Amino acid sequence: MAEHLQWTDDFDSPHEECGVIGVSSPTEEVAQLVFFGLFSLQHRGQEAAGIAVSDGKQARLHKDDGLVNNVFDAASLAPLKGKNGVGHTRYSTTGGSGTRNAQPFMVETIHGPLAVAHNGNLVNAQELRAELLGRGFGLTASSDTEVMTLMLASAGGPTWEDRLARTLPAWSGAYSLVLLVENRVIAVRDPWGFRPLSVGQLADGGWVVASETCALETLGCREISEVAAGEIVTLEGQKITRRQAMVPSVQSARCTFEFVYFSRPDSQWDGRSVHSVRQRFGEQLAREHSVEADVVVPVPDSSIPAAVGYSRESGIPYNDGLIKNRYIGRTFIEPTSIMRERGVAMKFNALGENLRGQRVILIDDSLVRGTTAGPLVQLLRDAGAVEVHLRITSPPIKHACHFGVDMGHDNDLIAARMDLEELRQVVGADSLAFLSLDGMMLAVGREDGYCNACFTGAYPVSVGAPKRKDAFEGVLA
């Protein structure tokens, strides 16, 4: 598939790397279960999707660029026979877009087939990659996941769990992994717990592990629990084995942005309802930054719970003011110049009857590059709003993420270059305010245990020199 600017979904929001899922069933062919699980995780990555399945003897793989329902149909799922499988839906943070970086990565090893799907980002991938090349390995992609796959394939130890435990200390950064081997699925989470990973039991006694609890609930799972930081979980039919392979970090580093933006509102993160936390963000924002207005309007969809919370706390009525085209997804078709100029209007339409003559409080979840907020404010004004007060349910993002979130680099982040008044002028709002970091954590319900480096610059793991996500693209262009 030809690669063009994926413009329709590339607005002012951070992008998560991916979603992962693994299924082991004693009775069912799992390809369809993996497919429906990936459907539930589509919001975490929309560049590529893949499924690998093993029948105990052979492993089969299908992956391609595009959304889950574009990559898979009945014909492509039919050959994927087996009771163990893993799946992946991708947004790139290490390695550019393109089929060669689509996951899972699958290789044949002396110990049998191995397929790996990864959510996160290794901060020492460049050093690990150079080491593999120095040992004579050939690399076909530019993703840190391929590096992890080859390291596992060449590791020593009697079992895959032993090889994984032996390899884990070499990896620095964020990783929630699912592995497919001949007769089972293995999952592991980094010792800091950056990215989410949960496990639940199917009705037939089998097990599923996935990036979010919403995918487990879609498949009817019960007994849902988190994979602990540093824990290896093995799923084999009705059997589950849990092994603490690494000591969890003294200070965990869960990604706060799972609450702000990434996770579906019907998921649980750190034992908390994402939807409820987002509502509390809005309530806290109303306490910190009240303003006289007539209506509270969200930027759909992730800001809807926060807008409800802001309305409830402030007493200002909530109403829809923007309608989102939820079916636009990502397109590989280059827009015409006229459509490109319309930009945000391709994704949002304003409801003039709810905005005309109104003083509007516009609730959004984040301000990253500053490319969307201004056009949205103008869209409301064009629809008749007499005032627009922009309220953001997270603190200003001033530092890049190195753990699996594509926010760009520090100089891409508008809040790193401008003060509050300059930001207000750029977006064209009558007033602009952000939720404080203390207020955010108060709404989460914990003072620590989360990674807030994008707000503070205090990284829980040393990240070294900044690297672009296409840093390994030079040779294999």
Catalytic residues, by residue number, are 18
The identity of residue 225, as a single letter, is S
Q: How many CA atoms lie within 13 A of 378 on its CB side?
A: 13
Q: What is the 3-state secondary structure (H, E, C) of 199-265?
A: EEECCCCCEEEECCHHHHHHCCCEEEEECCCCEEEEEECCEEEEEECCCCCCCCCEECHHHHHHCCC
The one-character DSSP state at 317 is P
**Residue 409 to residue 161: CA distance in whole angstroms:** 36
Q: Return the structure tokens found at 146.
A: 């391929």
The H or E element spanning position 178 is: strand 173-181
Phi, psi of 361 (to 5 degrees): -100, 115
With 0-12 / 13-18 / 19 or more C-beta atoms within 10 angstroms meaning exposed / middle / buried, residue 2 is exposed
**Residue 136 to residue 475: CA distance in whole angstroms:** 16
For 302, residues 6+ apart whose C-beta sits below 8 A from its C-beta are 260, 261, 265, 278, 365
Phi, psi of 105 (to 5 degrees): -85, 135
Nearest to 462 by CA among 127, 15, 91, 195: 127
Q: Which residues of 195-221 are buried (b: 16+ CB within 10 A; e: fewer)?
A: bbbbbbbbeeebbbbbbbbbbbbbbeb
Residue corresponding to tokens 């001949």: 182
Beta bridge partners of 234: 186, 241
CA 192 to chain centre: 17
Phi, psi of 425 (to 5 degrees): -65, -40
Q: How many CA atoms lie within 13 A of 212 on its CB side?
A: 28
With 0-12 / 13-18 / 19 or more C-beta atoms within 10 angstroms meaning exposed / middle / buried, residue 134 is exposed
The identity of residue 71, as a single letter, is V
**Residue 392 to residue 313: CA distance in whole angstroms:** 16
